[in-house]
Amino acid sequence: MNPAPASLTPALAQSRFMKAVRREATDTTPLWIMRQAGRYLPEYMAVRSKVTFMELCKTPELACEVTVTAQQVLGVDAAILFADLLPILEPMGIDLEYQKGEGPVIHNPLRTGRDVDRLTALATVEPLEYVFQAVRMIRSALAADIPLLGFAGAPFTLASYCIEGGGSKNYIHTKSMMYNDEGAWNMLMSRLVDSVIIYLKAQIDSGCQAVQVFDSWAGCLSPADYRRYVLPHTRRLIQSVVPFAPVINFLTGNPALLPLQKEAGGTVMGIDWRIQLDDAWKIFGPEFAVQGNMDPVSLYADIPVLRRRAADVLAAAAGRPGHIFNLGHGVMPDMNPDHVKTLVEIVHELGAEHKTSAAS
């Protein structure tokens, strides 16, 4: 079991989410939703329309407002810190810009071993103090029984951004460095891991009850490549953080990697929709909680269909302790917020029925 973070009060310890993390019985299935504070919510857009994305991320009062409002409006069982995966790279030497309509752009990508030499691991998290100020504000503003989740990008996903300079379909530059200059690759991954470790620990120290590691891009890898180039680094990251708080290890895009995801470790295994939840749980084994895994596009369906699709995920979990409902990735920007609110109600309603059936 993980030792409790310093901020884990009795009310938080007995919350639905934290009990599910520990694989204890709950009254219903807890859920939170990736990108639950996002452009689909009018409450978010009321704030976002006044500032740039980076201004929102770097203004603790605004990050607090959109985080807390999303949790309250949706009625989910946990809040997740409003932040982004990439600003951690700025104090490491990466020139990052968020361009309208283009997303994040890195103007000095790392394409060679010599480029990697100019990336420096964080010696201190002081340049990211705005994140920890937001965490403290959010923790103070949330209800006493609503956990706050922190997060960071996994080393492969961060490395891919650094090397590609933005999004990618084929990860040609990333894989070329992996294959052609394994020494430079391992140096890059090690510096990222060192930095993410102290970043996540600081989030926990500031008031997060659990953290999620997002490996949003690792699905592009074969199992053999993941084992050789990624697994040792991700495992070191998770092993360094899990003594301080529960870690959700979220990997998307390739169910063939699930056995290796298990080897990388974590407290909770986060999965996407490309595998049945019960099949994934068989791979992970009963010692892990499992988070997931409805396809986000399901939210576009008519409500009866949405209800059926949520019911299918809950049926696969079969009421066993340790299931945290989530989408297989984030909410789309044009989503009808009423559908998201309805999903929360459906999961709480049907989750309670499954828990009752499992207990009888």
* Catalytic residue positions, numbered: 35, 39, 48, 84, 161
CB atoms within 10 A of CB 176: 13
Token output for 308: 């059926």
Maximal C-alpha separation, the chain = 63
Instruction: Characterize the bridge pairing of strands 103-106 and 96-99.
Output: antiparallel
How many angstroms separate the Cα of 115 from the Cα of each of 108, 111, 309?
Answer: 9, 6, 47
- Helix 337-359 to helix 60-74 angle (10° resolution) is 60
List phi, psi (to 5°) of 231: -50, -50
Residue 106 half-sphere exposure toward CB, CA atoms < 13 A? 23
Q: Residue 324: enclosing H or E segment and its boundaries?
A: strand 323-324
- H-assigned helices in the chain: 10-13, 16-21, 42-48, 53-58, 60-74, 113-117, 129-141, 155-164, 172-180, 182-206, 223-225, 231-241, 258-264, 277-284, 303-317, 337-359
The answer to whether 268 and 21 have CB atoms below 8 angstroms apart is yes
Which residue in this structure is represented by tokens 């988070």?
A: 291
Token output for 3: 């030792």
- Residue by residue, DSSP assigns 94-110 as --EEEETTTEEEESS--
CA 172 to chain centre: 25
The closest alpha carbon to 32, from 295, 360, 325, 329, belongs to 325
